[in-house]
Amino acid sequence: MLNRFVLLLISLLVVGLRVRCQEATSGVSLPITVSGNTRATWTAPAENNEGSATTAGFRAILTPTLKLGPHWFAYSALDVHSSKYLSYETGSEENRLVEFELMQAFVGYSASFSKATVLIKAGQLSSAFGLFPVEYDDSKMPLIDAPMLYTGYLPIRPDQLPCGVKDVLGQTYGSEVDYHCGGSDDERYGVGPATLYGLPAVEAEISISRLDARLQLTNSSPANPHGLTDGGQAAQWTAGTGYTLPGGLHLGVSGFRGPYLDKILIPLLPAGKTLRDFPAWGAGADAEWSRGRWSVQGEWQHFHFELPGFSHSPSENGAYGQAKCILSPRLFLAMRATAQHFGRIQDSSGSSADQFAGPQQVYDFSVGYRFNRQQLLKVGSSWMNGNSWSVDSWVWPQSNRYMLQAQLVTSVTAVAKAFR
């Protein structure tokens, strides 16, 4: 039902585009951002150095935009990258050398009424949850990597059921997840709490003076996004609002809620229960501020994933703060600190654990130098500290991962043309 609704709305918007373009000034542009990077990673202590590696990769983001009059427009963001470009695993690195992601592709309508501005979008959209997804572009990010809150995969699968607490604890953070009480036979990584890439949606945004708000209807959860042709889709909502204080500080909150488990698990659910009885939900708060040479931003997020057979299902709390300081028109420094903590779990048999994964902290630092308006070089380092933790007789020792990176970003506008 949601598929038909979205497709119908997009069709109506496209028809409107054709009509409006006949009566207003229009234009087309094609900005392109190409990035290349090299990365060295290693773990400590030295005797546990199996993860050491040196890699190199590339990424290209194309953002064609079509403006058709004062109100209508179309926008898309296409991401092509080599499998070794990202610093985090997606699970498909060994299958394809080059990845393609449709981050955004939508049509929009904007209008102003007195002090209010309204924007309607339909198509493939960035999630309305959180602050960072709309900034996921190497030319916009002061640091080389996205925050760990968005790139760390949790040991939770939407297409398999864990047998209990021990089955969850038996997984390795950031690796493939394999539960043992039914579901898909495929190999798969865990879920990311909120996708950095797009998902089919319809969104309404409004801003009135210092207040802004957004409401998004999606075909699936930001924690388990589906395409319009995939099975397992389920309509759900994401919403957010914010307020800009007189000094320039913007404060925001956002949240989402809806089913995230795949349809393959329906036969395994308790009698009388549906997938909507086991939702995933997230709540977040964010802040950003800039003045002069300084700019800062941060987010706090809480995620919860309901599972059949659990009286206390897995949850996560995380936060990051980052700052950028412009030293000169060409040179800047940036740093970020991220912390994650994983909540208590308990299954229906009474077995429990105070946390289902070890807490960790990530510290990122980078130096950026602009050769000119088109080219930016970033050199940075990262330290991930995984704290030691234990449950009963199980013990996970402390782990440390270090990383050095260099990234060259080139931004050009391949096409820029106005027409009537």
- The structural domains of the chain, with segments of one domain joined by +, span 2-419
Alpha-carbon distance of 379 to 167, in angstroms, equals 40
Domain 2-419 coded CATH 2.40.160.10 = yes
Give the chain's radius of gyration (CA, Å): 22
Digits of tens for pLDDT over the chain (420 positions)? 444 434 444 443 444 444 344 444 688 999 999 999 999 998 876 554 456 788 899 999 999 999 988 899 999 999 999 988 887 765 555 567 888 888 999 999 999 988 899 999 999 999 999 988 877 889 889 999 999 989 888 889 999 999 999 999 988 766 789 999 999 998 888 888 999 888 999 999 999 999 999 999 999 999 999 988 887 789 999 999 999 999 899 999 999 999 999 999 999 999 999 999 999 999 999 999 999 999 999 999 999 999 999 999 999 999 999 999 999 999 999 999 999 999 999 999 999 999 988 899 999 999 999 999 999 999 999 999 988 888 877 788 888 989 999 999 999 998 888 876
Cα(402)–Cα(40) distance, rounded to whole angstroms?
8
